[in-house]
Chain A
Amino acid sequence: MTGDPRAISMTVNGREVTLTVEPRVSLADALRQDLGLTGTHVGCEHGVCGSCTVLVDGTAVRSCLLFAVQAEGTAVETVEGLARGSALHPLQEAFRRHHALQCGFCTPGVLMTLVELLRADPCPTEAAVRDALSGNLCRCTGYQPIVAAALDAATVLAAEAAP
């Protein structure tokens, strides 16, 4: 039957993976339970909190609102793909410097949302950062250090990109 588990392949953080899932399984659950990538957090499961945000073919999406079968053949990026070996990604580094997380539950989704923003807009205004973050709920920080970290990371990334 078409509702039965099926084998699908996709690229996750540059690695080709094949997994067998029921169509009703969200990409978030498949990442966490089938691939053991528990960095992607599942909060509200209806698209409100933003904790499960990942990139699919470079576009930030709610992985609780996308079925894993829909991601077949795509390139998925999760928070586990950010660090460069043992070195943190400049965004992660900036989050540490600015104390941009407390409990850390929202952090993976916030980071992936900001990765998309900074790729599209390497020098965002504070307003653009706040607009991008409007769909990510953080109940600890009050957002100020997250915004500061995002703007700081943009500067670091721009310096890295400069010839």
Chain B
Amino acid sequence: MKAPPFDYHRPASLDEALGLLAGQPDARILAGGQSLVPMLNMRLAAPATLIDINRVDGLDRIEEGADRVTLGAMVRQRALEASPVVRRRLPLLAEAVAQIGHPVTRNRGTVGGSLCHLDPAAEIPAAALALDARLVAASARGTRRLAMEEFALGMMTTGLEPDEMLVAVELAAWPEGHGAGFAEFARRPGDFAMASAAALVALDGAGRVDAVRLVLGAVAATPLRVTEAEAMLMGRTPDTTLIAEAAALAGPCVTLEDPQAPLWYRARLATAMAKRALTAAVGRADRKRVAA
């Protein structure tokens, strides 16, 4: 299994990369290569041109803002795990990233690569939807921002134009004291998830749900927000009964199936993962300090 021939470019700057992308009709961006290169080796993809952005300056920054954290597209997954900013401001992402593949694949795998590959089972797109991601797309024509709903169009299909490249993602940092949980089921650690769930919970001073997100991964073509479950939880005290009722709404969302996980089984996994993620998030959330 060897990659088919391709023209190789290794730009040193973003402008150079965008110029190349604008002029090449059949080009793919090569980031960490942990998904694209297997596809090349298996001849599932055969682009005429690869634009290697591993040496483009400035794409690997983690920037902390007041209510957003911006991750450059080339931030390695291993760097996310190690980042104190990510652990403190985006605990959901920190927990999700630790479940991607293996330490050695995370050494190369990137935030932007995972988002653009958009595998239904991938952890980062699910976490990004929960964190109201804004995706920054650049081209020689300019820069625009896409919401996750505009970006994740379908199975491994993004809303990027052919001349556009993802350069960063801006994630909502929830207030201090919120709880996060990411749970996934795979036959062996590091395998593709058969179902995953991401949950964020903020409680008010009385211990009622003040804000909540529940997202499922690996159950549909793209990550899925379970708004009905969120609505059920809002304003109420999340005890085990309520969490179980809300998590039960995850099962019917499942549309993906394969011989390993038929619909009925994946639906049960989705419910179980939603319950685990919500339970973890609620358990980690602090009641807001009541104003004096």
Which residues does A use to contact B, with CB under 8 Å? 1-3, 22-26, 29, 45-47, 50, 53, 59-62, 64-67, 69-70, 113, 116, 131-132, 134-135
Contacts and interface: CB of A to CB of B under 8 A. Distances in A.
Nearest to A46: B38
Contacts of B50: 23
B241 to A, nearest CB: 34
| Residue among A26, A50, A132 with the highest chain B CB neighbour number at 10 A | A26
A60 B5 contact: no
B258 interface: no
Given A64-B41, A66-B33, A135 B102 contact: yes
Given A24-B3, A67-B8, A50 B104 contact: yes
Interface string B92-121: 000000000111110110000000000000
B108 A66 contact: yes
Interface of B: 1-10, 33-34, 37-38, 40-42, 49-50, 52, 54, 101-105, 107-108, 189-190
Contacts of A59: 107
Contact of B9 (A2, A25, A134, A135): A2
A135 B103 contact: yes
A23 B47 CA distance: 13
Contacts of B190: 134-135
Nearest to B7: A2
B102 A3 contact: no
Contacts, number: 87
A132 B190 CA distance: 11
A135 B2 contact: no
A64 B40 CA distance: 11
B104 to A, nearest CB: 5
B6 A23 contact: yes
Given A45-B1, A62-B108, A65-B108, A132 B103 contact: yes
| Residue among B42, B52, B105, B190 with the highest chain A CB neighbour number at 10 A | B105
Contacts of A65: 33-34, 37-38, 108
Contact of A113 (B1, B49, B52, B104): B104
Contact of B37 (A47, A50, A135): A47
Contacts of B3: 24, 26, 67
Contact of B102 (A26, A69, A134): A134
A24 B5 CA distance: 6
A62 B190 CA distance: 15
B6 A61 contact: no
Nearest to B37: A65
Contacts of B103: 60, 113, 131-132, 134-135
